[in-house]
Amino acid sequence: MPHELPKAYDPTTIEDHWAEYWVRENLFAQSAEGTGAPYTILLPPPNVTGRLHMGHMLNQTEIDILSRWRRMCGDRALWVPGTDHAGIATQMMVERQLAEEGKTRQELGREAFETRVWEWKRHYGGAILDQMKRLGATVDWSREYFTMDEHLSVAVKEAFVRLYDQGLIYRGAYIVNWCPSCMTALSDLEVVHEEKAGHLWEIRYPVVDADGNETGESLTVATTRPETMLGDTAVAVHPEDERYLKLHGKQVKLPLVGRVIPIVLDDWVSRDFGTGAVKVTPAHDPNDYALGLRHHLENINIMDDKGQINAAGGVYAGLDRYVARKKIVADLEAAGLLVGIKDHTNNVGHCDRCKTTVEPRLSTQWFIAVNKKVNLNGVESSIAGRAIEVVNQEKIRFTPDQYKKTYLSWMENIHDWCISRQLWWGHRIPAWHCADCRKITVAKETPAACSHCASKKISQETDVLDTWFSSGLLPVSVFGWPGFDGKPGSGLTRADFDTFYPTGVLVTGFDILFFWVARMVMLGCWFSADVPMPDGSPRPLSETVPFREVYIHALVRDANREKMSKTKGNVIDPIEIVEKFGTDAVRFTLASMASPGTDIAFNVARTEGYRAFANKIWNSARFVFMNVDRAAEIGINVDPSALGGMPTASPTDPLEARWIVAEFHAVAASVNESLKNYRYDDAANAIYQFFWGSFCDWYLEIVKLRLDFSETADKAATKSALTTLLSVFEASLRLLSPFMPFITEEIWHAIYDGNPPAKSIALTQYPGDDEKVSSSLASSMIEMQEIQRIITTLRALRKDCGVPEGESVSAKIYSNVQRGLRAVGFVPQHQELIGRLARVTELLVVTEPFKGEVTKSEPDFDVSIHYERTIDVPAERERLGKEILKLEKGLDAAARQLGNDGFLAKAPAHVVEGLKKQQAETQLLLDKAKAALASLPQE
Ligand SMILES: [Zn+2]
Ligand SMILES: [Zn+2]
């Protein structure tokens, strides 16, 4: 006997209870020994500093729906959670905390600072995962990782050392994007470019002869960053620029500094930019650096880590870069060397984290040579090459598929990956510098001495690795690579890797397509390549991929389709909205709008609507349970074996039973099909229509007729109706469960009153499509649709005539032979059903068209009701008059469209056919309305 549900649906109580239960019971853990096809998903690890935002909520809702669905379909669905140590973000967070105490990390020292970050992580680090737990994500918590965990750090060291030994990691001077505030190099992806109004300063450089004496000639250069002139080591002009032909081979004297530098000729110089002559500062501009390499120019770095002029800047040393700029411009002007200042729009790079203007700066960094070919298992390969090959060969598929092109074009133009960061928080690079021989020793374990000269004077590299280096390794490292021996402390074995790698699908946002997705493909394909298959055979390319599919989801915008941003103040906090409407309603809102390539305009009104949907489900459960209880009182009990699978009906069952079962099979088939194609929206909307429309509005109303608990009841019929009711309801809960996990769990447990066949509805079977059953019941769908149309038309007519809600009237239906309604033949056997739902005492089938009666027409039938008190001829005449006008307008429009040759030439055949059919039907309705008007009694 089902449990009684509280009268009111209260999501908070239900959700807290089940969220805690799912975690406590560890229901979604998967082991290598289980059964079913593995279906693995990695959570894009949120930053350990993170708080849940709408983007996470969408991402997690989508992953959870897929996981729950595939698990219920019998797959071994494994969702692995974790957090990223997030180098810069976390370091900034802790530094801010220190600043409040009046301390700096430098005062603390590296070791103490790291301890402090770990402490911070212990206190605040798990917040976002706790939020995830509350939202009911079906992850395997026993596999939760943190990218700085020991076993993941082992993988990071292994990967670094291997790449170094393969000659794929090198250290080199390079122009990097430097953030003077974060004091670290940034990858290109961490720099945001913005158009900014600035200036172009024109500076005159005097030409000097071989002895360094000014010849009286000069050359004017244009620059947007005048302070960098302190580091100029040449001036460049285009070799064919006629203006400068006479200066070829000469030199200039650098103003304010006095250094004599050459005029070099280079095709790269644009003759149209500024004066056609450019200053060359190889240490502070990527193009100048490349030019410097071509002309063997010296690199003079004039700035320190903080963006202040260093000793190489002479009298300007110690000044901030912008203070120096002002002073240099003033000094040039005083010296008469400033030719002019022009307005100029600059494309300025900013640090993505702190918004400081990035300074291109020459520094020594560590790189991965992603395009360099080396021998990998006997095949000449490069890291990028492999990552391109697997996508070209469709070993990884993208949805929406346009991202395949985006990915490939980025990969094909990829530069070496700068993997070093000048931070204290992260995986410290496992390389040691020797003070004696200056060489580098790279090792997994801290070496005792230099591997080249055996000197003990070695010190570890101070840089840490780019955060994406460790997260790029996650698909292999979370399954135990490289050790597979469960050490140290991971508990993972080789079987974990064999079972769960490659993972099934990666669900993520576009913003980390290059940061993370591409890096996982590069590193995953590279490092898994020499892990043999479980049977010992070499791993084929198709099995090296970190995931077989990538689903890129869209952005969640506000209701006006604006991007959410703190400055605009339109950010929706998912937790706030969950507290107001319940997780189920918020999840359903997101799902109902989620489809490949379409941004979501999050509208709270919609969530309110889905909260009402949850309420509807709750009330329908209460109705079902009330009837199950009443039946039990007279000894009618539903056989539990009728639950848990696909509902069935036999040809002898009443129409509504056959119909609701057929409808359920159809909706289950369409939901499965939609989810296969990531059409969350179609799946959610199909369930919604079924549950609210078919099940609640129609079926529940009809089934009331069959639930007879009186002395004289046909007990077999009542039991059969009750069985269909309960089995379709139970199966609908399972169908809905991945979308609204909490309310379905609550009601499902109540059905079994403390003795459920599984620990959770999430561990039961997902409704599929049983073709045999659905085709045998298909005819009931047409029959029911026609009955529904009759009822809807009768209801509309009642409304038109102002029949009071509670009053029953008698009614008639006419349908002529040619355009006949099949169901007219069935009307006599559905009197009770039609009577109840349309509130008519009787529906009489007549064989003559109506004359002088109040009627409502459909193209294939007409109904009339007998309601004497309301026959108001003038009103009816007016109503029909309006109806005729409307129909005539429709006909005019159709005629215009069908008479338009241009339209006919372009429109697809089925559209034209549809219009013609509609035109014929409108004509018919018009004829009927005119006949009705003519038959009204004359005044
Ligand atoms: Zn910064
Ligand atoms: Zn040495």
Instruction: Say whether pLDDT at 489 is over 60.
Output: no
| pLDDT (0 to 100) of residue 234 | 94
Which residues does 89 contact at the CB level (< 8 Å), separation at least 6? 47, 49, 353
| pLDDT (0 to 100) of residue 195 | 87
CA of 448 to the centre of ligand 2 (A): 11
pLDDT tens digits, one per residue of 367-397:
999 999 999 988 999 999 999 999 999 999 9
CA of 438 to the centre of ligand 2 (A): 6
CB atoms inside a 10 Å sphere around CB 585:
25
| pLDDT (0 to 100) of residue 822 | 67
Instruction: Say whether pLDDT at 869 is over 60.
Output: no
CA of 773 to the centre of ligand 1 (A): 63
Instruction: Say whether pLDDT at 567 is over 80.
Output: no
DSSP β-ladder status, 191-208 and 338-351: antiparallel
* Ligand in nearest proximity to the CA of 449: 2
| pLDDT (0 to 100) of residue 597 | 85
pLDDT band at 123 (very low <50, low <70, confident <90, very high): confident
| pLDDT (0 to 100) of residue 146 | 92
CA of 503 to the centre of ligand 2 (A): 43
pLDDT band at 871 (very low <50, low <70, confident <90, very high): low
pLDDT tens digits, one per residue of 579-630:
999 999 999 999 999 998 889 899 899 999 999 999 999 999 999 999 999 9
Q: Are 550 and 506 in contact (CB under 8 A)?
A: yes
CA of 463 to the centre of ligand 2 (A): 20
Q: 251 has which bridge partners?
A: 208, 262
Q: What is the residue whose two structure tokens read 């450019």?
A: 278
Burial grade of 438 (CB within 10 A; 0-12, 13-18, 19 or more): exposed
pLDDT tens digits, one per residue of 723-752:
999 999 999 999 999 999 999 999 999 999
CA of 668 to the centre of ligand 2 (A): 69
For residue 745, the SS3 value is: helix
pLDDT band at 490 (very low <50, low <70, confident <90, very high): low
Closest of 768, 731, 763 to residue 747, by C-alpha:
731
CA of 165 to the centre of ligand 2 (A): 18
Helix or strand run (H / E) with residue 506 = strand 503-509
* Ligand in nearest proximity to the CA of 177: 1
CA of 271 to the centre of ligand 1 (A): 35
CA of 441 to the centre of ligand 2 (A): 8
Q: Are 770 and 665 in contact (CB under 8 A)?
A: yes
* Ligand in nearest proximity to the CA of 178: 1
CA of 353 to the centre of ligand 1 (A): 5
CA of 444 to the centre of ligand 2 (A): 18
Backbone phi, psi, residue 533, to 5°: -70, 165
pLDDT band at 207 (very low <50, low <70, confident <90, very high): very high
CA of 358 to the centre of ligand 1 (A): 8
* Ligand in nearest proximity to the CA of 359: 1
Q: What does pLDDT average to over the chain? A: 90
* Ligand in nearest proximity to the CA of 350: 1
CA dihedral 717, 720, 725, 728 (to 10 degrees): -150
The more confidently predicted of residues 858 and 536 is 536
CA of 227 to the centre of ligand 1 (A): 21
* Ligand in nearest proximity to the CA of 192: 1
pLDDT tens digits, one per residue of 802-811:
787 888 888 8
Instruction: Say whether pLDDT at 681 is over 80.
Output: yes
* Ligand in nearest proximity to the CA of 184: 1
CA of 456 to the centre of ligand 2 (A): 8
CA of 484 to the centre of ligand 1 (A): 38
| pLDDT (0 to 100) of residue 464 | 94
Q: Are 222 and 273 in contact (CB under 8 A)?
A: yes
* Ligand in nearest proximity to the CA of 457: 2
CA of 192 to the centre of ligand 1 (A): 11
CA of 422 to the centre of ligand 1 (A): 12
Instruction: Say whether pLDDT at 554 is over 90.
Output: no
pLDDT band at 95 (very low <50, low <70, confident <90, very high): confident
What is the b/e burial string over 846-879, where b = at least 16 CB atoms within 10 angstroms of the residue's CB? eeeebeebbbbbbbbbbbbbebeeeeeeeebeeb
Which residues does 458 contact at the CB level (< 8 Å), separation at least 6? 432, 433, 434, 435, 441, 447, 449, 450
- Enter the tokens of residue 106: 């430098």
Provide the percentage of residues in the chain whose pLDDT is more than 70: 96
pLDDT band at 109 (very low <50, low <70, confident <90, very high): very high
Q: Are 551 and 400 in contact (CB under 8 A)?
A: no
* Ligand in nearest proximity to the CA of 91: 1
DSSP 2: P
CA of 230 to the centre of ligand 1 (A): 24
| pLDDT (0 to 100) of residue 877 | 86
Instruction: Say whether pLDDT at 771 is over 70.
Output: no
| pLDDT (0 to 100) of residue 458 | 96
* Ligand in nearest proximity to the CA of 440: 2
CA of 454 to the centre of ligand 2 (A): 6
Q: CA dist 586 to 569, 580, 582, 770, Å?
A: 20, 10, 7, 31
| pLDDT (0 to 100) of residue 821 | 65
Q: Are 612 and 743 in contact (CB under 8 A)?
A: no
Half-sphere exposure at residue 912, Cβ-oriented, CA atoms within 13 angstroms: 12
CA of 450 to the centre of ligand 2 (A): 5
* Ligand in nearest proximity to the CA of 456: 2
| pLDDT (0 to 100) of residue 774 | 64
Can you list the alpha helix ranges (DSSP code H) found in 417-539?
Answer: 467-472, 474-477, 494-500, 519-528
* Ligand in nearest proximity to the CA of 183: 1
The more confidently predicted of residues 760 and 873 is 760
For residue 371, the SS3 value is: coil
* Ligand in nearest proximity to the CA of 439: 2
CA of 444 to the centre of ligand 1 (A): 31
| pLDDT (0 to 100) of residue 231 | 93
CA of 352 to the centre of ligand 1 (A): 7
* Ligand in nearest proximity to the CA of 352: 1
* Ligand in nearest proximity to the CA of 423: 1
pLDDT tens digits, one per residue of 16-39:
999 999 999 999 999 888 889 999
Average pLDDT over residues 217-224: 90
CA of 190 to the centre of ligand 2 (A): 36
* Ligand in nearest proximity to the CA of 421: 1
| pLDDT (0 to 100) of residue 395 | 97
CA of 183 to the centre of ligand 1 (A): 7
- Enter the tokens of residue 886: 């409307």
Instruction: Say whether pLDDT at 823 is over 80.
Output: no
CA of 317 to the centre of ligand 1 (A): 23
Q: How far apart are CA 658 and CA 635, in angstroms?
A: 25
Provide the percentage of residues in the chain whose pLDDT is more than 90: 56
Instruction: Say whether pLDDT at 796 is over 80.
Output: yes
Average pLDDT over residues 634-638: 89
Q: CA dist 790 to 658, 694, 793, 816, Å?
A: 19, 16, 5, 15
* Ligand in nearest proximity to the CA of 454: 2
pLDDT band at 56 (very low <50, low <70, confident <90, very high): very high
- Enter the tokens of residue 69: 């669905």
CA of 114 to the centre of ligand 2 (A): 28
* Ligand in nearest proximity to the CA of 434: 2
pLDDT tens digits, one per residue of 158-195:
999 999 999 999 998 888 889 998 888 887 767 888 88
Which residues does 182 contact at the CB level (< 8 Å), separation at least 6? 88, 92, 351, 353, 354, 356
CA of 200 to the centre of ligand 1 (A): 25
* Ligand in nearest proximity to the CA of 351: 1
pLDDT tens digits, one per residue of 252-306:
999 999 899 999 999 889 888 878 899 999 999 988 998 998 899 999 999 998 9
CA of 464 to the centre of ligand 1 (A): 16
Backbone phi, psi, residue 96, to 5°: -65, -40
* Ligand in nearest proximity to the CA of 432: 2
CA of 163 to the centre of ligand 2 (A): 21
The more confidently predicted of residues 827 and 770 is 827
* Ligand in nearest proximity to the CA of 182: 1
Poorest-pLDDT segment among 597-606, 822-831, 921-930: 822-831
CA of 181 to the centre of ligand 1 (A): 5
CA of 470 to the centre of ligand 2 (A): 29
Q: How far apart are CA 225 and CA 221, in angstroms?
A: 12
User: Which strands form 855-858's sheet, in the order they lie side by side?
Assistant: 840-846, 809-814, 861-866, 855-858
CA of 457 to the centre of ligand 2 (A): 8
| pLDDT (0 to 100) of residue 127 | 86
CA of 148 to the centre of ligand 2 (A): 30
pLDDT band at 512 (very low <50, low <70, confident <90, very high): confident
pLDDT band at 479 (very low <50, low <70, confident <90, very high): very high
CA of 634 to the centre of ligand 2 (A): 93
